Amino acid sequence: MTLTDHHSRYLLACEAYSSVKAFDVFSIYEHCFNEYGLPKAIRSDNGVPFAVSHALHGLSQLSVWWLRLGIKIERIKPGHPEQNGQHERMHRTLKQHLKPAKANLLQQQEVFDDFQEEFNFERPHEAIDMKTPSEVYCPSEIKLPEQLDELEYPLEDSTKKVTKSGDIWLGRNRVYVGRAFRGYNVGYSQVEDDLYLLKFMDYELGFFDLENRRVISHETIFDIKL
């Protein structure tokens, strides 16, 4: 798992894991946010754990948490790694550095640590005027909040908390929103007879009616606009 700062190329995290589980990913990001502050945006590909293909707008539990922290999501288009070229270039350099693979995760992590030290403090980069990332990088002034307040929607018709199974209830009608939103409040407003607009924070997620009981959106709101 690797995290880099877009502007300075500074490598924030380089961790060896046998698999990328949700708990591991959250802990890595939480550590980085505490250490370096919150970014204004995170650019990623469309794979797990950043996105889920079958979910509303591809939003995973991780990406919904980012939105709740006020972080903008930027997704590259599938098959276009050049849209995140700086990070992909770092990965190519890292793969060259790792050959051959080590016998266990502990030995692999030692190699990662050595690479991170060299990459940040010793290796000059042409794209930043032959400086090292450590000479350019500056931590964010936006701090990770100790606790998040409940979301409120004073301009919407109503507010509902998403259940553990990813639903909201309108009377006896259950509407599936997605498990990524569980525990968060969402707002909705009636726009036509039995047609409602669903919002998470300031994001319009889509529409639902009481017949299909599922939020539907035909618009992607997190892709990078070229």
pLDDT, tens digit, for every residue of 81-121? 777 878 888 888 888 877 777 778 899 899 999 999 999 99
Query: pLDDT at residue 23 above 60?
Result: no
Task: Compute the distance between CA of residue 137 and CA of residue 158 in angstroms, rounded to an integer.
Answer: 43
CA–CA gap between residue 40 and residue 25 (Å, rounded): 19
pTM metric for this prediction? 0.90
Cis previous bond, 100, omega within 30 = yes
Maximum separation of any 2 CA atoms in the chain, in Å: 63
Over residues 28-45, the pLDDT tens digits come to 999 999 999 999 999 998
Q: Which residues in the chain are classed under CATH 3.30.420.10? A: 2-136
How far is residue 206 CA from its own chain's centroid? 20
Tell whether omega for the bond before 49 is within 30 degrees of 0, i.e. cis. yes
Query: Residue 74 corresponds to which amino acid?
Result: E
What tens digit of pLDDT does each residue of 201-216 get?
Answer: 999 999 999 888 889 8
DSSP assignment of 90-126? HHHHHHHHHPSPPSSHHHHHHHHHHHHHHHHHT--BG
Q: How confident is the model at residue 19 (pLDDT cuts 50, 70, 90)?
A: low
SS3 content of the chain, % helix, strand, coil (to 5): 30, 25, 45
The confidence score (pLDDT) of residue 91 equals: 83
What is the Cα–Cα distance from 209 to 145, expressed in whole angstroms? 36
Locate the DSSP E strands across 94-184. Answer: 158-161, 167-170, 173-176
May I ask the CATH architecture of the domain 2-136? 2-Layer Sandwich (3.30)
Q: What is the pLDDT of residue 225?
A: 60
